[in-house]
Structure 1
Amino acid sequence: MMKLHTIIERKSVRLLLPLFLLVLSGFFLSLGAQEQAAKPSTELLNTDCIKCHASVQAMVDSKGAKHKTAVTCTGCHQGHPPMVSKEKIIPLCSTCHAGKPHYEIGGCNTCHSDPHAPLEMKLAANLTAPCLSCHPQQGKETKEHPSLHAKLFCTTCHKAHRDVPECLKCHQPHSTDMVNKDCTLCHPAHMPLMVAYGAEMPNKNCAACHKSISDTLSSVDTKHAKLACVFCHKEKHKYVPACESCHGAPHPAGMIKQFPKCNMCHISAHSLGKEAKK
C-alpha cells in the first residue's frame, strides 16, 4: 500500500513540474516586459517636439519654406539630450545643403540666423559674394555696365533680403513731381547708365533731364512739337533717327545736292528753325 502511494506521488510531481515551470517562465517574461517598458525610448516624433517647442513649430509653419515641407523635426534633430550627441541635435547645414557654389561659402548663420525661418535673413554689412552666388544675373549686369553702383556692396542698398530701396533715398529727382517708379522707367537698377524706356514714356519724364529741348518744343508750333519724344527716339537713349526715315526725299534733287544736310536749313530737329508765333 505504501509503495502504491509513493508511486502516485511521483506521478503527481511529474505532472505538476511542467505546469510550475510554465508559470515561472511567464512571471519572468512579465518582469522583463515591465523593465523594457520602463526604459525611455530614444525615438522622438514631431508631436513630442511640439510639447516643449510650440513657438518653433509656429515659426516653421509660417516662415519655414522647404524646411516646413521637405523635412520634419527629426529629419534635422535626430534625438534629444542626453540620448544623442550634440552633433546630432544641431547638424551642420552641409549635411543637406551641398553641391552648389552658394553652399560652399560657409558661415551660413551670418545671413540665415534662424534655420526655422531660413529666408527671413538678416544680412551682415559689406556683403557681395554670397549674394551673387544666388543672383549671378545682377552681378553680370553691374560688371558689364560699370557705374557708381558697381563700386558698392550689395548690402549697401539691400540691407535686408528682398529689400528694394527707393532710388530717391540716395538720388535727387530730376523734377519735383518725380516718384520712385519714374526712375526705374529709364534706369535699370544694376545698370543705371544703360537708359532704356518703353513706347509709353511720357514727355515730362524726358523733359526732366532735357529741359532746354522741352522748352524749345514748347515755344514752336510745328508737327514735331506735337509728337511724343519716343516717336522719334525709339526706346533707346541717345538714338537719333535720320530725317529721311520719316520724310523720305521731300525736296528736288537739285536742292538736296546744294544742301545735303537737313540742318543746313532747318537748324534743329526740335525747332526746325521756326520761332513761336507771337
Structure 2
Amino acid sequence: MKLSRLRLSLFLWLLLLNVCAAFAAENVNDNVFVKPANQLNLPNLESAQSKPDHSLERDKICTRCHDETDKPKVLPIYQTPHGVRADVRTPSCQSCHGESDAHVKNQGNGETRPKTEVVFSGADKSPADLLNNTCMSCHQSGLRTHWTSSQHETNGVVCSSCHSAHTPKDKVLEKTAGTQSEVCYTCHKTQRAETRLFSKHPLLFAKMACSSCHNPHGSNGPKMLVKNSVNETCYTCHAEKRGPFLWEHQPVTEDCSNCHTPHGSNNPPLLKSRSPWLCQECHSGNHSAQINSGANLQEGDLTTINGLSPLANAASRAQMAGRNCANCHVMVHGSNHPAGSSFLR
C-alpha cells in the first residue's frame, strides 16, 4: 500500500515537471533572452558625462592663471565634492563666480585686473544676498530648508563666513575633529568662555559639536535648535530623563534650562546655581526652618515659612541642615515609585 502511494506521488511529480517544461518551451522567445545591443534600452550616459566634462572645460579658462602658486590656494577644490568629475552636479568656476568676462579679458589699461562678478572674500566682497543666493541655487533643501529668515540670514551671515569651498576638509563639517566649534566661536565668544568652565559638555574633547544641538541654517525651534523645543533637543542624548514618570517635576517637564545652563557652569552638573539655593528659587517654604533672606537682620525677627519669628525661636537654617536637597531628593527629574511623590526614591 505504501509502495503504491510512493509510485503515485513520483508519477505526479514527473507529470508536473513535463507540463512546466512544455509550457516554457512554447513561450521561449529569443528576443527576450538574447537581444542585440542596439535594441537594448540602456541609459544614455552621454548627457551625464558631458556636464562634468563641460564644467572642466570652462574651468580651464580660469586655471590658465589660477594654478598651484595661488595664495590662497584654489585648486584643492578638485579634492572636494565640488570637484568630482563623475558627478553631473559638479559646478564650474563660473557657476559660483559668474561669467566675469571683464575679469577674464582684462581689456583695461590698469595694472589691476577687474574683480569677478561674485566675490566671496576680501574688501570687495559681494553683498550678502548675492553670495547666499549663489550657494542656495544648489544647496536649498535638507538642513537648509529654514535658512530664509533664520537668525544667521537676517544678521547678514553668509555661507562663506563659515564654510570654505576650496579646502579639502571644511572645518565646519569636521565634527569629530573639534574644529567646528572653533569656527562658531569666532562670533559666539561668550559661549566659548562658558565651555571652559568646570562643568561643561564635551565639546573640547570632540565628543560632540555645536551642530549636535543647533542647526546653523535655521529651524522651527528656539535658538536654532535641531528639535522643536529645548527638552526634545536634550532628550536626543539624555533619553533617561524623558519619562513619562508617575511623579513628574514640573520645571523639568517645562524646560531643562530652568535649572541647567547648556554651554558650561562652575556648578556641576551644568546647574545655574548651587543647591539648595537653586531649589529655593521655587521651593522657598519647604521644611520648618528659616531660609536665607534679606529680612533676617541682626537683632530683628527671622523669616520662616510661618512668617516672622523671634530670634530665640530660630531653628537651624535649612541650607546648613540639609547641605544639598539632592542628598535626599535623589530622583529630582521624576520618579516611578508609588511613594515617590517627593522624589525621595
- Using the size of structure 2 for normalisation, the TM-score is 0.30
Q: Highest Rg: 1 or 2?
A: 1
- Using the size of structure 1 for normalisation, the TM-score is 0.36
